[in-house]
């Protein structure tokens, strides 16, 4: 099974990677930004009742804030990346995390729901571009054989946010007001802005092509679309379950609503573990890690649906589901950068557009099967179906990749056998 798409040698890397100690500091700086983004992305979910009461809207109407943020990510990832095509990558990171801080400052100061809705949409616009550029910079500054591990460590900030940042900001928001959750993000974003500005260098072959046409060239590559399909559909299975943990834990496991934060923490720990494991596995085989994640999701969703009525096995399976699903994150990110070596910035940013489409798709399908009365475990079976569909797309991608390799090898043989002109 091949290690990446295309072969790693096709993707330029710096001639002199950073020293390990310096690289760790650079990755930590970018991971701080990921922590801020993860906190603001999910904290609103736990504060919808407080926001609704404060701004005198219904809870379903307040739920539009989550949709608008996700829409901002989907729209912003390609548009911001293309608009900033000539900006050096390290400087772009500073600008993006500063914009995220500004969007959250507007959210904290919003006088009414309309302003808050606009601020949440604006907060999502830099999200995908930040992760795409940060992943690209981490890969470029890393030695060969450690690129996926570095990407996973940047993404680690996002998974730690689900484990610590979201519960902490939610608890603070519930105790002293929902605006405080956004203020926390502003403080973290400000610290990250300064840290990235001081620590992150501009890598060689950074992906700042200076050409919108070159970046749009990523959309002509079939493997880019395969990767986006895997992320939007296969990864959507995770959100079909994650979105309804608040109903599954008390309604199926019988643990009561106070156990929901515990379940979310367990899920966050699983995502963190899966992210670390994914970085190590993807450096050996990107396709292998993607296949393992999708098969693991389908299998663990199935077992979870069968044992979730028992609290302890159900919690254990939530952890395993989170580990399996997170295998897709770093591996798909590296897949996209390798699939479009001449336009890696847009390809990497589109990864987060796909994941947010998966977020919306999984949550919507989960809501649909609940609405027709199929029971609280129907979202888990929905996750099985989506994971298997994602596996089918991955298998199709691998077959196309093998044919591409065969054609390239044949062309090389023919070129070598051709007579040399005198």
Distance from C-alpha of 31 to C-alpha of 198, rounded to nearest angstrom: 15
Which tokens in the block code for residue 201? 């260098």
Residues of the chain with pLDDT under 70: 1-16, 59-60, 204-211, 418-422
| 185 domain-assigned | yes
Residue 206 has a pLDDT of 54
Q: Give yes or no: residues 261 and 369 share one domain.
A: yes
| 2 domain-assigned | no
pLDDT digits (tens, 9 = 90+) for 249-282: 888 998 877 787 788 889 889 988 998 899 889 8
Q: Give yes or no: residues 186 and 232 share one domain.
A: no
Find all residues with CB under 8 Å of 227, minimum gap 6, and list them.
Answer: 332, 335, 336, 339, 347, 351, 354, 397
Q: What is the DSSP letter of 376?
A: T
Cα-trace Rg, the chain: 21
Q: Give yes or no: residues 98 and 232 share one domain.
A: no
Are the C-beta atoms of residues 161 and 150 closer than 8 Å to each other?
no
Q: Which of 148, 172, 201 is the last residue of a domain?
A: 201
Which tokens in the block code for residue 154? 């940047």
Q: Give yes or no: residues 354 and 374 share one domain.
A: yes
Which runs of E-coded beta strand occur in 48-145? Answer: none
| 141 domain-assigned | yes
Q: Give yes or no: residues 263 and 185 share one domain.
A: no
Are the C-beta atoms of residues 34 and 252 closer than 8 Å to each other?
no
Are the C-beta atoms of residues 268 and 319 closer than 8 Å to each other?
no
| 6 domain-assigned | no
DSSP helix/strand/coil, 206: coil
Q: Give yes or no: residues 197 and 222 share one domain.
A: no
Q: What is the DSSP letter of 340?
A: -
Q: Which of 175, 201, 227 is the last residue of a domain?
A: 201
Distance from C-alpha of 70 to C-alpha of 80, rounded to nearest angstrom: 15
| 397 domain-assigned | yes
Among 28, 3, 308, 231, which residue's Cα sits nearest to residue 141? 28
Q: Give yes or no: residues 252 and 378 share one domain.
A: yes
pLDDT digits (tens, 9 = 90+) for 368-384: 888 888 988 999 999 99
**Residue 94 domain boundaries:** 18-201
> Rounded to 5 degrees, what are φ and ψ at 124?
-80, -20
Distance from C-alpha of 50 to C-alpha of 57, rounded to nearest angstrom: 10
Q: Which of 201, 231, 266 is the last residue of a domain?
A: 201
Q: How far is residue 364 from each of residues 115, 123, 360, 367, measured CA to CA in Å? A: 26, 22, 6, 5
Are the C-beta atoms of residues 223 and 400 closer than 8 Å to each other?
yes
Find all residues with CB under 8 Å of 217, minimum gap 6, and list them.
Answer: 340, 342, 343
Are the C-beta atoms of residues 356 and 73 closer than 8 Å to each other?
yes
Looking at the chain, how many residues does it have?
422
Q: Give yes or no: residues 180 and 235 share one domain.
A: no
Q: Give yes or no: residues 189 and 58 share one domain.
A: yes
Q: Give yes or no: residues 84 and 129 share one domain.
A: yes
Angle, nearest 10°, between helix axes 48-55 and 64-83?
Answer: 100
| Angle (CA) 103 104 107, round 5° | 95
Q: Give yes or no: residues 340 and 408 share one domain.
A: yes
Q: Give yes or no: residues 123 and 82 share one domain.
A: yes
| 4 domain-assigned | no
Give the number of C-alpha atoms closer than 13 A to the C-alpha of residue 37, restricted to the C-beta side: 35
Residue 306 has a pLDDT of 95
| 375 domain-assigned | yes
CATH of the domain at 236: 1.20.1250.20
In the block, residue with structure tokens 């610590």: 164
For the chain, give percent helix, strand, coil, nearest 5: 80, 0, 20
Q: How many domains does the chain have?
A: 2
Neighbours of 397 (CB within 10 A): 22
| 9 domain-assigned | no
| pTM of the complete model | 0.79
């Amino acid at each position: 099974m091949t290690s990446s798409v295309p072969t790693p040698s096709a993707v330029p890397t710096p001639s002199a990677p950073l020293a390990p100690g310096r690289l760790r500091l650079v990755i930590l700086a970018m991971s701080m930004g990921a922590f801020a983004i993860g906190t603001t992305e999910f904290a609103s979910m736990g504060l919808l009742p407080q926001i609704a009461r404060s701004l005198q809207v219904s809870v379903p109407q307040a739920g539009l804030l989550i949709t608008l943020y996700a829409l901002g990510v989907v729209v912003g990832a390609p548009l911001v990346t293309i608009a900033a095509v000539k900006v050096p990558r390290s400087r772009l990171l500073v600008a993006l995390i500063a914009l995220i801080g500004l969007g959250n400052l507007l959210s904290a100061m919003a006088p009414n729901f309309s302003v808050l809705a606009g601020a949440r949409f604006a907060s999502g616009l830099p999200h995908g571009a930040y992760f795409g550029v940060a992943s690209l910079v981490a890969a470029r500054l890393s030695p060969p054989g450690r690129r996926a591990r570095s990407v996973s460590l940047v993404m680690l900030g996002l998974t730690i946010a689900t484990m610590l940042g979201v519960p902490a900001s939610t608890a603070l928001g519930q105790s002293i007001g929902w605006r405080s959750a956004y203020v926390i993000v502003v403080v973290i974003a400000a610290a990250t802005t300064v840290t990235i500005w001081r620590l992150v260098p501009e890598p060689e072959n950074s992906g700042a092509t200076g050409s919108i046409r070159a970046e749009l060239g990523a959309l002509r590559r079939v493997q880019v679309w395969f990767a986006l399909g895997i992320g939007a559909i296969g990864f959507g299975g995770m959100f079909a379950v994650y979105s309804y943990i608040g109903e599954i834990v008390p309604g199926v496991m019988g643990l009561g609503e106070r156990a929901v934060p515990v379940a979310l923490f367990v899920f966050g720990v699983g995502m963190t573990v899966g992210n670390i494991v994914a970085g190590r596995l993807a450096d050996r085989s990107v396709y292998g890690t993607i296949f393992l994640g999708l098969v693991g999701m389908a299998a663990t969703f199935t077992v979870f649906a069968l044992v979730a009525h028992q609290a302890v096995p159900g919690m254990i399976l939530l952890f395993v589901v989170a580990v399996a699903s997170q295998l897709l994150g770093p591996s798909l990110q590296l897949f996209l950068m390798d699939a479009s070596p001449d336009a890696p910035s847009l390809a990497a940013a589109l990864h987060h557009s796909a994941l947010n489409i998966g977020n919306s798709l999984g949550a919507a399908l989960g809501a649909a099967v609940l609405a027709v009365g199929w029971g609280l475990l129907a979202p888990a079976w929905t996750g099985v179906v989506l994971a298997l569909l994602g596996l089918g797309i991955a298998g199709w991608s691998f077959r196309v990749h093998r044919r591409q390799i065969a054609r390239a090898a044949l062309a090389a043989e023919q070129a070598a056998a051709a007579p040399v002109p005198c």
